[in-house]
Structure 1
């Protein structure tokens, strides 16, 4: 809990909001906005289940305490990105640095959550808010058309509250997967494009790679792509490939129950293994370490890493991402999936900073602690 003094001498108390504050929060919404309002149900969900910080400002004048504003910050699971989702200051208290105090409290909450950057959206016709953000070091980096309820555009701002990547960096174009089961092909497209700028990333190629590399069956739905299939697809397109995988045999087989499906997975595994034996793909049958990832990037490689999506979406499924940078504290990645249900946007999935210790947990999958990576290089380059 922190307190400060406004210019009028009134005491401004800043604290985490409680369920008992919901009526005051609703009143702030109604006094501050004409559209795009948060509902009572949404506030309740945020306070009980949301991965967020909801801070309220209370002003005391004499014996009366009134809600002057609030700020809601969302934290993306498994990453070091935070997003200021909503800020409201009651018109009666504007000009008394309530917004400034709330913004500083949100930044401290983000620092406490080990976040690297804060992002937000603001209307172009809200110069007071834009001025506040710019005075506090936020810089515009994009916009969305037709974002608000009245079809107004949203300006996107960001502030780094920790230093940007200080280590190895890769120039990796972004591609969003177009189907729930094509994270592998989408990640492979990004890696290939980074090494061959002339390559056209298209949905047709995404689907073609999926057809080549799919493991046929997964725990639910369509089959996803395993490391052997992706390595073959990259090699067949002219790239040198290193394949890291710490276990033998067909992968994801524990996720299917029927014997016929297990048999298919075994056949597919054997086919991929036989094809790989006829290539010069370098196979490493040990854990892929963060040190090995750094060394590969230094040698010109672009790594695809299989992670557990539990850290992002609380769903236990394998998920491919592309590493774009690595430094002393963070690993940065392109996530091909834009999860709108988790309030993510296209820009929230690019160069996502993940603390290295969190990435260590994230980059193993299943009961077998599978760790695997497919690392692409330009063919003919001395590795």
Structure 2
């Protein structure tokens, strides 16, 4: 029986990790600098396997997405000389154990479409295919995306088929989310021009220290203009976002636009419910086939307390799943799709600012 010692990696392993990467992969390799970065990161776990001679036989790298219940198996490698000794499965077990220790009951991974051996291993361990990303690897091979729910049995809840759209500017999260809904409900392909036009229609012009974000009624009116049915939940009746700026003239601009959006909704008989909404309300809207855009604070995701629109792509008894249009600097686009967030944390996220604004836009055809 082959025995391997598994332990957390240290900086002393950098040379061996880099050499192993060279032996295992001909492309999409992690560099020595990348290994050093992941060793320093708080939200990552790099585990190495040593053989009886204390030589590096393999490793697995797991990343933790802040503010969510999601872990991602970023990379796994087994020395070609050690293959056939069940080390890949042992490393997978270590990755799953690490994810659970970090209170991440969901583990995701990507695998080359032509890597039959790895796919067989993942499926044997209970990973389920949920998406495919074309042209993902350096040689243009497609990636298959798998997920395993480590703590709970899979349920039968159907996930909304919501395409993911990445925002192309720092301030167009709302339009990107609306384009996701348009792609799902009207089969309208996203475009940068449409993204900017939607922002022009829905923006508050000013917000915090940068460009203005999108008003929920502005997004709903833009959706109505493009053939969607829309309604708004909002727990405040006065002007939104005025507490995010100090300049009186900017406050006056935000107030003017708010009043315009309110009157436009009345003129178009677009429903606005001035009440808070619950998790049950979100579930009911999703079950009815609607797509819901929700304004959140990013504090629990990146510590910035910024207002940010996300789209709900599904829900189950434990979590809401979101499409986040902004990968930021440290995340891959794959990490921003169907992100599982516990109901408790999502309830905390969907409060923005000192006024604890809660608002959402419900879209349908």
Classify the TM-score, shorter chain: 0.7 to 0.9
Match of 1:381 in 2: none
Match of 1:342 in 2: 330
**1:352 counterpart = 2:339:** yes
| Structure 1 residue corresponding to 2:204, chosen from 215, 235, 241 | 215
**Distance verdict in 2 for CA 1:274–1:142, change over 3 Å:** closer
| Structure 1 residue corresponding to 2:294, chosen from 281, 305, 330 | 305
Equivalents in 1 of 2:320, 2:269: separation in Å?
A: 29
- Deviation of the 1:295 alpha carbon: 2.4
TM-score (norm 2): 0.86
CA RMSD of aligned residues (A): 2.9
**Distance verdict in 2 for CA 1:104–1:173, change over 3 Å:** same
| Structure 2 residue corresponding to 1:101, chosen from 83, 86, 90 | 90
**Distance verdict in 2 for CA 1:191–1:145, change over 3 Å:** closer
| Structure 2 residue corresponding to 1:56, chosen from 39, 48, 62 | 48
**1:153 counterpart = 2:141:** yes
Question: Would the aligned equivalents of 1:168 and 1:294 in 2 still touch at CA under 8 Å?
Answer: no
Question: Would the aligned equivalents of 2:232 and 2:361 in 1 still touch at CA under 8 Å?
Answer: yes
Deviates more, 1:176-185 or 1:319-328: 176-185
Equivalents in 2 of 1:373, 1:33: separation in Å?
A: 45
- Deviation of the 1:208 alpha carbon: 2.2
**Distance verdict in 2 for CA 1:143–1:284, change over 3 Å:** closer
Match of 2:276 in 1: 287
Question: Would the aligned equivalents of 2:111 and 2:118 in 1 still touch at CA under 8 Å?
Answer: no
The structure with the larger Rg is 1
Match of 2:20 in 1: 28
CA deviations over 1:348-375 (Å, ceiling 9, x no partner)? 4333222211211221122222211111
- Deviation of the 1:27 alpha carbon: 4.2
- Deviation of the 1:30 alpha carbon: 4.3
Structure 2: stretches of 5+ with no match in the other structure: none
Q: Secondary structure at the match of 2:210?
A: coil
Structure 1: stretches of 5+ with no match in the other structure: 1-6, 379-383
Question: Would the aligned equivalents of 1:85 and 1:121 in 2 still touch at CA under 8 Å?
Answer: no
**1:18 counterpart = 2:10:** yes
CA deviations over 1:250-279 (Å, ceiling 9, x no partner)? 323333333322221122222222323334
Question: Would the aligned equivalents of 2:164 and 2:180 in 1 still touch at CA under 8 Å?
Answer: yes
**Distance verdict in 2 for CA 1:103–1:78, change over 3 Å:** same
Deviates more, 1:17-26 or 1:90-99: 17-26
Question: Would the aligned equivalents of 2:234 and 2:276 in 1 still touch at CA under 8 Å?
Answer: yes
Question: Would the aligned equivalents of 1:313 and 1:342 in 2 still touch at CA under 8 Å?
Answer: no
**1:170 counterpart = 2:157:** no
Q: Secondary structure at the match of 2:296?
A: strand
Aligned length: 361
The 5 A counterparts of 1:303-342 are: 303-339=292-328, 341-342=329-330
Equivalents in 2 of 1:233, 1:137: separation in Å?
A: 43
| Structure 2 residue corresponding to 1:273, chosen from 255, 262, 287 | 262
